[in-house]
Structures are given as C-alpha cells and as structure tokens.
Amino acid sequence: MVRVRFAPSPTGYLHIGSARTALFNWLYARHNKGEFIIRIEDTDKERSKPEYLEEILASLKWLFMEWDGELSYQSQRFEIYKKYADTLVKKGLAYLDGPAIIFKVEKSKKVAFEDMIRGTVEFSTDEIKDQVLMKSDGTPTYNFACVVDDHEMQITHVIRGDDHISNTPKQVMLYEALGLELPKFAHIPLILSKDGGRMSKRHGATSIFEYKNMGFLPEALVNYLSLMGWAPGNDVEILPLEETIKLFDVKNVNKTGAIFDMDKLSWINGQYIKTMEINKLTEKVESYLKDKNIIQGEYDRTKLAEIVKAYKERMRTLDDFVSVYKYFFSEEIEYDEKAVEKHLKKPNSKDIITKCKAACEADPKFDKASLEESYRKLAEELKVKAAELIHPTRVAISGKTVGAGLFDMMELLGREKVLKRLAKFC
C-alpha cells in the first residue's frame, strides 16, 4: 500500500509552499487508495510552539486534507533514534565525539538514487562531510530522524520540495548503513515569484490563513495549488477536487519551478464564486462577514442572499462583499471622490439627480423593471442618453461607479434608502 507523510515543523505557520507539498502527498495517497500520515518534527524545543501546530493542522483541514491515523511527534521518540545510532556505532559505521554520535562518510564513492520526477540523481561522497546523528544534547539531527521515522512508519514514497534534494544522498547512505529498504523519492520544484525568485511575503501572502482572511475559498486554493507544477492536460484550469484525485500522479509533476500568480488565483476563486450554489455561497459570505465583524446583531438574511445573487458574477473574493454589504445595510456609505467629481459635480448634476429623485418618488412599484422604465422615460423627456442618468444615480446611492445592474441595486436598497441618498446631491 502507498503510504506517504507530511512532516511539518511547528516553528511557524503553514506557508503556501508547504501546503502544496502536503497537497501533492495527500493527492498521491488518495489517488492510490493509500494512507496520508502527519509527523510533527518538533525536535527544536525552543522554536516549536503549540499555536503554530494548531494553525498548521487547522489549515490542512480547511484545505480538505484529513490525515490517516494518529499524529506522531519526533520529540517523543528520542530513545528510538538513540537505539538506531548505537547500532551504527556497534557496526563501526559511526563514532562518538563526546556525547554526540557521528556517522562516518566513506570518501570517493558515488551515491545515486532514482527520483520519480528527475530520474537518476547522483552525488559524490567527497562533497559530503561526516554526519552528526545524535547531537550532544541528545536530540537527533533532521536527516537521521527522517530515515528512522520513514522506515518505522513504513513510508513508501517521500514527496517533498527540491530544497531537500541535497539531504537525500545523506539519507540514502544511512538507509544502506542500517540495512533498510529505500522509499521512492520525488522532489517537487519550488514555487517561484513572478520575477523568478523564491516566493516571499513581498510577493503576496504566504501563510494559508492569510489567504482565508483575504476571502479566498478553500476549493479554489486547492485547485490552484494542484496546478502549480502539475497539469491534467487539455489546458483545464478549473478542476474539482474529486477529478484531481482521479487524475493526479506525482510522476507527471514538472521539473521546473511553478510561478505563483495572485491574479490567476483570484480569477480561479472568482470562477468558484460564480458557479457556487447560492445558498452555499451565502453561508460562506455570511460566515466571512461575521468573522470580520461586518455583520453585527440582527440583519435580513433573505436580502443578503438576494445581494449575493446579484453580485456573485462580479466578485473574485469573499472580501469583495464587504463594501457591498456596507452600502446595502449601513446608513452611511463611503464615496469614491473621483467618481463624485466626475458624475456629481457637473454644472447640471444637481438638476439631473433632482429629476431622478422625483422619478423614483413617483414610481408605483419600485422594482427593477418599473424603475428602468421610469429612467428610460425620463431620459427621453430630457433628450439625454440613459447613461447620463444611470451613472450619477449609481454613484449617489452606492458611492462607486461599478457594481450590479443599477435597477437591481435600487430594488434591493429600497425606496427609502435610494431617496435619502439621492437627496444628498439635490
């Protein structure tokens, strides 16, 4: 059975690169009906913090990556590592340096392994110094603990970032010295920024929960991450998780680095918003607005669903609904100064808005069809294009030049709010 692992260190939050590594492991396990194991590499006692671990696990769950079995912690396995290290000392393959145990690296040898993505990879032992196995404080080094744990946890495939590729020959030597079977290795190219460098905070958010706070959907983020270095073919860009599981194979991951593009992620997120069933999307918007303390106390949920329906075609993130919610449910709205200057400060603007307000007051139904008819009729009377009435009205009632259809907005706002906001500019 395929058995893979994701081994985060709780010394920081889960960032985008590690999340992609976890996802490729999870997809490979699910595709092969195998197991996805979480191992916590918490040997750095000073830097490891419970809040980091909590956030890492919550991020994985938010991205649908449930794991199999119990979590394991390296900090609870020091005696096991010591036993393996002592075995190498007894074999004459490692030596003591005070309380530390060090593995002897035989020089002028070649260490080769097969990588599922890169093919044969070879290193010379002349480039590798003797390897510390157990430090003087009794803690294991990364490479040694990895080998022991992957063997004991029966890991069949080690799928990780290619920043670990220089660690692999060191680990291969330890597998061979201990007489253990090698797992299969796959080293995934790093995620790069648009300028070709390593991704960092200046290129956009890096923590997974930062993306959640920015209003991205987990479905969209998983979709985007799965396509960073892998593709199902036929230029498919929107791929539900169930389909990704069916098609994914780590052997088909590209050898070159994947470029992170926030605009592309936003577009994919917008596609998920656009096609999501309205009740489900309303629930997500509602939850997001409550988390942001935008929704406080009582509110009209039916009206919120109508607003979400009217705006979802135009939205790219849940955060885009913040300003929309405010101008529908708040008494005061924020005005775009440039929009006010352009559409509400012309010599005839006051007269136009006054006439629009009168048409709204006289409208018998105040629904979108009736309002549109009233505005078309007024435009004919004034011998102007309908746009000359629509644009200033939109800015007056919403503060912005873009949004849903004007008459949809007016119906959702209701007669009282529309007249009150138009009156400000009469």
pLDDT for position 194: 79
The answer to whether the 3-188 and 202-329 domains have the same CATH topology is: no
Query: Contact 182/172 with Cβ under 8 angstroms?
Result: yes
What is the domain class of 3-188 according to CATH?
A: alpha beta
Please give the chain's pLDDT, 426 residues, in tens. 999 999 999 999 999 999 999 999 999 999 999 999 999 999 998 899 999 999 999 999 999 999 999 999 999 999 999 999 999 999 999 999 999 999 999 999 999 999 999 999 999 999 999 999 999 999 999 999 999 999 999 999 999 999 999 999 999 999 999 999 999 999 999 998 877 777 765 555 579 999 999 999 999 999 999 999 999 988 899 999 999 999 999 999 999 988 999 999 999 999 999 999 999 999 999 999 999 999 988 889 999 999 999 999 999 999 999 999 998 998 888 899 999 999 999 899 999 999 999 999 999 999 999 999 999 999 999 999 999 999 999 999 999 998 899 999 999 999 999 999 999 998
Residue 201, Cβ density class (10 Å: 0-12 exposed, 13-18 middle, ≥19 buried): exposed
Of 109, 201, 251, 345, the active-site residue reads 201
Question: Residue for token digits 């644009």?
Answer: 391
- Return the structure tokens found at 181: 């079977």
Task: Note the pLDDT tens digit of each residue in 375-398.
Answer: 999 999 999 999 999 999 999 999
Per the CATH hierarchy, to which homologous superfamily does domain 202-329 belong? Glutamyl-trna Synthetase; Domain 2 (1.10.1160.10)
Task: Give the distance from CA 11 to its chain's centroid.
Answer: 20
Active-site residue flag, 201: yes
pLDDT for position 103: 98
Question: Residue for token digits 């009156």?
Answer: 423
- Return the structure tokens found at 115: 């990588």
pLDDT for position 198: 72
Domain boundaries, the chain: 3-188, 202-329, 337-423
pTM equals 0.92
Inter-axis angle of helices 320-329 and 301-311, nearest 10: 130
Query: Contact 3/32 with Cβ under 8 angstroms?
Result: no
Q: Which amino acid, residue 196? A: G
Question: Residue for token digits 């035989």?
Answer: 106
Task: Note the pLDDT tens digit of each residue in 268-279.
Answer: 999 999 999 999
CATH of the domain spanning 337-423 = 1.10.10.350
